[in-house]
Amino acid sequence: MLKNNMYFIDPHIHMTSRTTDDLIAMKKAGIVAVIEPAFWLGQPRTSVGTFQDYFSSLIGWERFRASQFGIKHYCAIGLNSKEANNESLAHEVMEILPFYLQKEGVVAIGEIGFDEQTDLEEKFFRLQLELAKSLDILVLVHTPHRDKKQGTLRSMDICLEHGLSPEKVIIDHNNEETVEDVLNKGFWAGFTIYPKTKMGNERMAEIVKQYGPERIIVNSSADWGHSDPLAVPKTAWLMLEKGIPTNYVKQVCYTNALKAYSQSKHFKESDWLLNLNVDLSLEFYAGNSVLRGQESLQSIQESLIIR
């Protein structure tokens, strides 16, 4: 049975770093859709071809892989702030971005913004904001781990300077010192439930108690580090235990992400509500099968059905 009879969207998770066991657990927990932003893979890429292969995997293989476990997969494509500091390579990546940003399932440019808040990071942040304007797509902003408040305020000021509407920008990785500024300026406020380095779910519950649910979006940002792909449903269940109203919980763990990203023509609730079961219409992708013909295919499919 589906716990608390709730469905969830994880609007920031790096599935390329996660296993098929994670996908099974996510499906059973009620996660019906995910958005995977392009990000740093842990070590610098050395050529534009590695970016091309990575972007192609986000719109192809990862989309297929999630479908085999009944989860609708979308992505955001962009040059991450850390690798914006390699100027010559960054220019090459900028040349290929328009091609990928117009592909099916791409719902935003991201995650982009600041890491160390260097001049090069600002340069390529601004260039990508102009690209977002020209293509009329949403923007997912990564706020820095260090000097977060200054980086967050600077990011919003730059977005406004480039004429972007706050309702089309998600400012992510917020905490207690940034939330009020982000909400007051009219942006979407993303919160990452990530052990130690970002936001714990106890703290997230307190923020919702204090500020309410408007324009607040919970995500996991689960990646290759110590992180939890079930962070969104676990936070929802904790908030319910703490007496936060069910409609508030649904709003921050489902409805707000739906409202924000439905501004993209590629993101529709009907994409997953029409079929909450496993999509086995395509058994192979580029000759490869996630399930690899195992005899327990039928039992896997039955175990993943949300009843």
Taking only the tens place, the pLDDT of each residue in 199-228 is 788 999 999 999 999 999 999 998 988 899
**Cβ(101)–Cβ(63) below 8 Å:** no
**Is position 177 within any domain?**
yes
Q: What is the pLDDT of residue 219?
A: 97
275 domain residue, yes or no: no
Domain containing residue 174: CATH number: 3.20.20.140
Phi, psi of 288 (to 5 degrees): -115, 140
Burial letters 229-248, b for 16+ CB under 10 A, else e: bbbbbebbbbbbeeebeeeb
Distance CA(155)–CA(142), nearest Å, equals 9
Distance, CA of 53 to CA of 164 (rounded, Å):
30
pLDDT grade for 197, boundaries at 50, 70 and 90: low
Tell me if 301 is assigned to some domain: no
Q: Is residue 38 part of a domain?
A: yes
* Ramachandran class of 172: left when φ > 0, alpha when ψ lies in -120 to 50, beta otherwise: beta
**Quick check: 282 pLDDT over 80?**
no
H-helix or E-strand spanning residue 190: strand 188-192
Query: Which amino acid is located at 162 in the chain?
Result: H
Q: Is residue 51 part of a domain?
A: yes
Q: Coil, helix or strand for 189? A: strand
pLDDT > 90 fraction of the chain, expressed in percent and rounded: 79
Asked, for residue 12, whether it belongs to a domain, the answer is yes
The pLDDT of residue 274: 80
Residue 128 falls within a domain, yes or no?
yes
State how far the Cα of 34 lies from the Cα of 15, in Å rounded to an integer: 9
Is the predicted pLDDT of residue 296 greater than 90, yes or no? no
pLDDT band, residue 294 (cuts 50/70/90):
low
pLDDT higher than threshold 70 for residue 290: no
Number of independent structural domains in the chain: 1
> 278, 70 in Cβ contact below 8 A?
yes
Residue whose token pair is 């992505």: 75
DSSP tag of 217: E
**Is the CB of residue 192 less than 8 Å from the CB of residue 198?**
yes
Backbone dihedral angles phi then psi of residue 91, each to the nearest 5 degrees:
-65, -40
Q: What is the mean pLDDT of the chain?
A: 91
Q: What is the per-residue pLDDT across 12-70, written as a single tens digit (0 to 9) for each?
A: 999 999 999 999 999 999 999 999 999 998 898 999 999 999 999 999 999 999 998 88
Helical spans, DSSP H, in 68-147? 87-101, 119-135
Closest Cα to residue 213, out of 238, 262, 179? Answer: 179
Residue 164, H or E segment = none
pLDDT band at 295 (very low <50, low <70, confident <90, very high): very low
Q: What does the pLDDT look like over 263-278, one tens digit per residue?
A: 999 999 999 988 666 6
Task: Tell me the β-bridge partners of 31.
Answer: 8
Q: How far apart are CA 177 and CA 179, in angstroms?
A: 6
Q: If residue 168 lies in a helix (H) or strand (E), which one and from where to where?
A: none
Per the rule left: phi > 0, alpha: psi between -120 and 50, beta: everything else, 46 is alpha
pLDDT at 140: 98
Indicate whether 270 belongs to any domain: no
Give the model confidence (pLDDT) of 57-109 as tens digits.
999 999 999 998 889 999 999 999 999 999 999 999 999 999 999 999 999 99
The whole domain housing 89 covers 3-265
